[in-house]
Amino acid sequence: MATPLIFIKEMKVETVIGVSDWERALPQTLIIDLEMALNSHQSLTSDLIKDTIDYAVVADRIRSITSNHTFKLLEPLAHLILETLEKEFHTPWMKLTISKPYILQEVKTVGVVFEKGMRT
């Protein structure tokens, strides 16, 4: 059986990020998509929140990071999010996408995608 995942799609967060002064003048909206592998199949039968990853807690951690840190680049922000979530939730695999919408003319969104760990 494949490892079950939890996911968060299109989470909007506000943060100060960017290289240019005009980007850093005001908080920007980032869009975050995250997939995390569960480290146990126990949640398939237990029906207890302690046997899974609580996505509300995950969302709170992401909001805390984006509201308490500023970066010029998306890459160190993504790295901090992944490292924090890995330490707290002990997930064997994560995929994180961070998008900056409408930052370039005629481009809907730009961003980064990081994967960490092994998905089984």
Is 100 tagged catalytic?
A: yes
pLDDT of residue 47: 83
- Strand ranges of the sheet holding 109-117, from the earlier edge strand across to the other edge: 5-15, 28-37, 93-101, 109-117
**Residue ranges with strand state E in 1-120:** 5-15, 28-37, 93-101, 109-117
Task: Find the catalytic residue in 9, 12, 87, 100.
Answer: 100
pLDDT of residue 85: 97
Tell me the pLDDT tens digit for each residue of 18-73. 999 988 899 999 999 999 998 876 666 778 888 889 999 999 999 999 999 999 99
Query: What is the signed CA dihedral for 62, 74, 68, 85, rounded to 10 degrees?
Result: 30
Tell me the pLDDT tens digit for each residue of 73-97. 999 999 999 999 999 999 999 999 9
Distances (CA, A) of 37 to 6, 9, 81, 115: 7, 15, 15, 11
pLDDT of residue 106: 94
What structural domains and CATH numbers belong to the chain?
A: 5-117 (3.30.1130.10)
Segment 10-22 mean pLDDT: 94
| 39 Rama class: left (phi>0) / alpha (psi -120 to 50) / beta | alpha
